[in-house]
Each structure stands twice: as C-alpha cells, then as structure tokens.
Chains A and B, each alone.
Chain A
C-alpha cells in the first residue's frame, strides 16, 4: 500500500532528526568559544565587557519576564509543551537546504522532496488560527514588561551599529551560553523560533512602519521606537523566501541585541530556562549561519542573534547567504 503524503512527511522528518541527533557533535565549551566575528583583541575586550553589561540588563529583563505567571514553566513542563498550531520547522529548514542544493553541490544535510513540498506551502488558514488562538493577555503582559525593562538598552543602538564587525564565514562560532539559559519562544506566521534572552534588545509594539522603496521583500521597513530607528525584518520571509507575502503587519517586533534590527513576531510564547544539552548545536555555519541549533524537544530553531545582526547589517538574504556560505557547508 503506497504511503500517503502525510506518512511520507512523517517518515522524512523522523529520518531527518534521527540523522541530526545521531551526529557526533559536542557543544562547544564555553571557555573555548571565540566571538562570532573576527575582532581585534581590543575590540574583543570591549565587546566582552559590553556583553557582560548587556547580560546584566537582559537578565533583569528575563527576571521580569519570568515573573509573569504564564512564563513560569520548568524544563520538564517544556518537554510536554504542545505545538498544535506551529508549522514544521524541519520542513521549513529543509526548504532552505533544498535551495542550497541547487546553489551548490556541497550541502551536507539531507534534503527530501517531501519536506520541501511541505515547506513551500504556508497555509494562511493555519497561520490565522495560530494568531487568533494567541493568548492576548499573556503576550501583552510579556511584551509590555520586556518593553519597559529594555527600552534603555536602545540608547546604545547607534554606537553599536557603527561597531558591527565584518562578517566572516570562517570566523563563525556558535553561541556561548551557560549550562542553562533563558530562552524566549515566539512564532512568526505559525513557525516557532527561539532566541536566548540574553541576546534580546527588547520586545516592542509599534504603530507605523515606514516602507522604503528599492528594498528586498523580506525588509518590511523602518519604525521609530522612542526616537530610535529600527529596521524590521519579515522573519519567515527572510528564513524562507518562498513564504507568502504578509498582508498585515506583525503585532510585535523583537529587537536583536543592541543593533538596529528587529524580527517580526506574531505571538510571544514566553521565556523558559532550557539546558544546554537540550539543544542540538551546530558546529559549522553551513548554509544557515543564523541557526545556532535546534531545541530538541520543541523542534524549533534557536537563533544565532549575533550572526543575524551581521547578516542583516550586510543586507544578506538567503540567496546571498547560500552563495557565500554554501562552500563552507
């Protein structure tokens, strides 16, 4: 009896994750990890000081976020978290890999037609359901608290933007985290993402988005956050250029570190502490230098914020990333 499309997809995903999890990959030791960018010794020193300061600030933000009753979830609870309305991350990532296979022949990760097909179709109804089912009170509380506690951080946005180091694929290093670290989970058009809280610059609601002509479709425009101009990225469109054009605006934006860049976000699912070994870490940037790893239980992408900032800063969409990084995969 031939397998149905659903069975094929499930089988493909199972194989995909089995292969990923079976890889003999050691998470990089904290002391051995270098900064994600190549820097001079002096710059690295300044950067590390800033990161410590940032860490203190974002920890306070994390504490406030975690003080909301909705966000007090233990890692054990996290394992049983249901995700009925989020899209298959692995399918989405496979889409990118498929594109990489076309762009270069050096792709090392498995690509299947089934997952690519799934990734190519983002169902509007499913997306709408995910948005409508969002617990508004929870997201608003989290957003407002994070906004209040992290607004001050954006005062350094301009200085940090000027100090953005050049991106070098050879210098790519994965995240340097503690054995347990707080992570914010959010969805963009039904796809779940995770980002270490220490790398957050803030979560904001915004009124108006100024669109700039001549920009790629993943660049939504610029918004004013208390006098600072923040560039907003269509998260899903950037990750997966085949995703449909978004009609409405994202209700929230998540500022990346101290940069001028922010990711569009539909739903804030709250922050949780996850163990380092709960993440399948990547050793090489491959064709997705923005992907730090996969949160195993959640099966969602853990974003590499510093890499994202560097990629955005250079205006790199997936096509250019594939061009520049496919050889490194």
Chain B
C-alpha cells in the first residue's frame, strides 16, 4: 500500500511541468532541510572531529576520510541556530560543492525524496543576512515544508578559499 502511494505520488509529480530532482533530507533543530543528492558523496556516523587551531568559527575541525582530510562545517552556526549536543542520530554529510569537498554536521539524515521543480517555491526576499542566501527554495513534503539549501552558497568565495587553505 505504501509502495503504491509512493508510485502514485511519483507519477503525479512527473505529470506536472518541471523536472524531477532528488534531494537528501536532513534535520537541524526542528526543521527539515534538503540538499541536492548529486552533491552528497556519503553520510557518516559521527566521528571525532579534530579541532584546527586558528580556524574560522564556522569550522568544527577536520576528519580523516580514508586517508583524505575533510573539513567539517558547523552547520548550526552557519544557519544561525544554537548549538546542540551530539546524539546517536548525528551525522556528517560529505558533500561535494563546486569548490571542494567538505563535511557538514547535521542532527540526523532522513531520506532521499523526489521533488518536482515546479513544486519548489522561492522564499520571500526578506532580510539581508548572508545566511538567507543559502535557501534556494521551499517545497511541500508530507504536510510540512522542506527547506532546500544551495550548498554552493554555504560559504563565500573567501571562505571557500579559507577552508581550502586550512
């Protein structure tokens, strides 16, 4: 029954004008967010993050991912949210932006969803804070709104450069 509903929902989404895109959803605080699945390399359980002396405040530290050093960003701080304790659900999402590979710490990772671009609405042009630029749209998903994030805008040009030079 559940599968039928999923198939029906997918068929309905495909019938609309627009393009189907897949998003990985994750939770931060009380809200659900989504990032383009094509930018997500893998999802890791929380492992110790080694702090980097002198690193910017939004950098939690670095992890060793199969021999490669990956910088982990404090997503809560970046989104202007209060910090929270690490739990069993905490995950590090390894993402590949246009600039480089980084990790983002999230409260939990939920699922992969198909969204029709026609169903994605822009958010109002309200506020001048930098973080408002991260949001590329919102979409209805099971009676709640999913906030879609543009990972390429998570850091400014200078900050990407800064992270690369850590």
Contacts and interface: CB of A to CB of B under 8 A. Distances in A.
A260 B129 CA distance: 22
Given A219-B126, A260-B124, A312-B124, A214 B143 contact: no
Interface in B123-142: 123-127, 129-135, 138, 140
Interface string B103-147: 000000000000000000101111101111111001010011101
Contact of A219 (B127, B138, B140): B127
Given A219-B127, A224-B144, A212 B135 contact: yes
A214 B31 contact: no
Contacts of B143: 207-208, 224
B123 A222 contact: yes
B127 A215 contact: yes
Nearest to B80: A213
A315 B127 contact: yes
Given A216-B127, A219-B126, A315-B124, A210 B144 contact: yes
Query: What is the interface of chain A mostly: helix, strand, loop, or mixed?
Result: loop
A211 interface: yes
A206 to B, nearest CB: 11
Contacts of B135: 212-214
Nearest to A315: B126
Interface of A: 158, 207-208, 210-216, 219, 222-224, 227, 229, 231, 260, 312-315
Given A219-B126, A315-B125, A315-B126, A214 B131 contact: yes
Given A210-B145, A215-B126, A215-B127, A229 B79 contact: no
Contacts, number: 69
A219 B124 contact: yes
A211 B31 contact: yes
3 pairs of A and B residues whose beta carbons are closest in the complex: A214-B132, A214-B131, A315-B126
B147 A212 contact: yes
A210 B124 contact: no
28 contacts: A207-B143, A208-B143, A210-B138, A211-B30, A212-B132, A212-B138, A212-B147, A213-B80, A213-B81, A213-B131, A213-B134, A213-B135, A214-B79, A214-B127, A214-B130, A214-B135, A215-B132, A219-B124, A219-B126, A219-B127, A222-B138, A227-B140, A229-B121, A229-B138, A229-B140, A260-B124, A313-B125, A315-B124
A253 to B, nearest CB: 15
Nearest to B127: A215
A229 B147 CA distance: 12
A229 B122 CA distance: 10
Nearest to A207: B143
A223 B124 CA distance: 13
B144 A212 contact: no
Contacts of A223: 145
B36 to A, nearest CB: 19
A208 B141 CA distance: 13
B138 A214 contact: no
Interface string B21-51: 0000000001100000000000000000000
Contacts of B144: 208, 210, 224
Contacts of A313: 124-125
